[in-house]
A and B are shown apart, each in its own frame.
Chain A
């Protein structure tokens, strides 16, 4: 079929416009040839696959081939499609003294045929139906007079079985195994008899579950439960302070003083209070934050200021509604923090304590007031710096 005829018949089918059919035909040939030259395969839908393989021992070259698709192969083989391979006999190797060498031309069993009779090929030059084929094969099957005596009366049928039947290597002689009685033989029928296997081989291997004691958990479940137990232990150790991985889930109680105090006005204290503060400052030789400078300054210089706020921070006595606050000092013990808070409160500031966990240590931050905007908080911080110079900064209320 040349290309014009192919195009004509495709156009007659009205699959697409003639221009498209011509273009696709041209491009298909182009890509087919280019792919074969590169050694690639080209799969044509509903038809088959073209490809090349290297042949030749001395002078190698590429030989194009075609693999037909299964559907097309079945259509071509429609006449013999239902015919299947049928077992007609067995043979045994009989050692021959002297000339035993195998020439490679003739089948070796020809010299050692045993009770198979004369094998005759099926005449296939004509159309043949499955019934005819089965009849011819039945005629081909060798007669086994010896096995008739061994078989039960009335059940002597030729051994017909497809090749898929597993033939176990049992102790029985092959003659008896061939005599499996079977009625209503059909070529398509699957064998129903079970292969006789030794009893020892049928014992199932003990599974892992049986070895581990019946209803054991799967390894995945065991790993999961192990991870959960490890997590619970870690949380408990962190909660009780043996390790410091994160903040504590359950906040410690801050002294009641900071919680019960009423919230003073958010604005910075009036000038009157400032004067009183200065008077107190003059009266007191030491500044308001009396703790050792190490803790206050070192904490102020620690990376706590630069690092983000810790996630486990528990507000003890928030007051007001502002988003910003002023931190004045930070302590590692609640007693020092409470002392600082009480002093700031005596000075008229709304002080409170916030617990924070930084670098494995718990800090108690003393903060003052709540302010709506950053500017207000800065002004208040400037005002507070009149009382305490160091360690005062504005932070966000949390």
Chain B
């Protein structure tokens, strides 16, 4: 379900204009992004946990060219689905 499909579906179901739905979803994303960048973590009820984690730099090797190089460190966003969401996804319909 792409962005437009999600917006169209919610707009038709709720009777709200597409632009309003788009603005509200963007506001959701802004709030979540702000929470992640501020606290480094975000927990959505029944969905899962987002956590900013650190991956240290390391040494890498290209076995084809036989080159040794450094891979820089990185901060990335990890997602751990909640157990409820896992159970829901595997629940037979």
Contacts and interface: CB of A to CB of B under 8 A. Distances in A.
B13 A64 contact: no
A59 to B, nearest CB: 10
Interface in A67-88: 68, 72-73, 75-80, 83-88
A2 B56 contact: no
A24 B14 contact: yes
Contacts of A6: 28, 31-32
Nearest to B79: A66
Contacts of A93: 66
Interface residues of A, number: 74
Contact of B75 (A80, A109, A116, A122): A80
Contacts of B59: 88, 119, 121
A109 B60 CA distance: 11
Contacts of A133: 72
A191 to B, nearest CB: 14
A33 interface: yes
Interface string B20-35: 1111111111111101
Given A28-B10, A43-B2, A1 B66 contact: no
A73 B75 CA distance: 8
A144 to B, nearest CB: 13
B30 A46 contact: yes
Contacts of A86: 69-70
A28 B79 contact: no
A109 B65 CA distance: 13
Contact of B73 (A37, A68, A122): A122
B23 A15 contact: yes
Contact of A31 (B9, B48, B67, B76): B9
A42 B6 contact: yes
A45 B56 contact: no
Interface size class of B (residues with CB under 8 A): 35 or more
B25 A44 contact: yes
Contact of B33 (A75, A92, A122): A75
B65 A167 contact: yes
A66 B50 contact: yes
Contacts of B26: 15, 45-46
B24 to A, nearest CB: 4
B45 A3 contact: yes
B8 to A, nearest CB: 11
A9 interface: yes
B66 A37 contact: no
Nearest to A125: B56
Interface in A2-31: 2-3, 6, 9-10, 13, 15-16, 20-21, 23-25, 27-29, 31
A37 B81 contact: no
B69 A87 contact: yes
Contact of A63 (B57, B74, B81): B81
A89 B68 contact: yes
Residue of A2, A44, A92, A109 with highest tally of chain B CB at under 10 A: A44
A41 interface: yes
B60 to A, nearest CB: 7
A64 B76 contact: no
A36 to B, nearest CB: 5
A257 interface: no
B36 to A, nearest CB: 7
A372 interface: no
A80 B89 contact: no
A163 to B, nearest CB: 6
Nearest to B62: A163
Lowest 3 A-B CB distances belong to which pairs? A83-B72, A124-B73, A66-B79
Given A9-B31, A46-B26, A167-B67, 6 more contacts: A16-B23, A33-B46, A44-B3, A77-B74, A87-B69, A89-B68
Interface of B: 1-3, 6, 9-10, 13-14, 16, 20-33, 35-37, 42-48, 50, 52, 54, 56-63, 65-77, 79, 81, 85-86, 88-91, 93
19 contacts: A1-B31, A15-B24, A15-B26, A23-B16, A24-B24, A31-B10, A44-B25, A44-B28, A47-B32, A66-B50, A77-B76, A80-B72, A86-B70, A88-B68, A90-B66, A90-B68, A124-B56, A140-B70, A163-B67
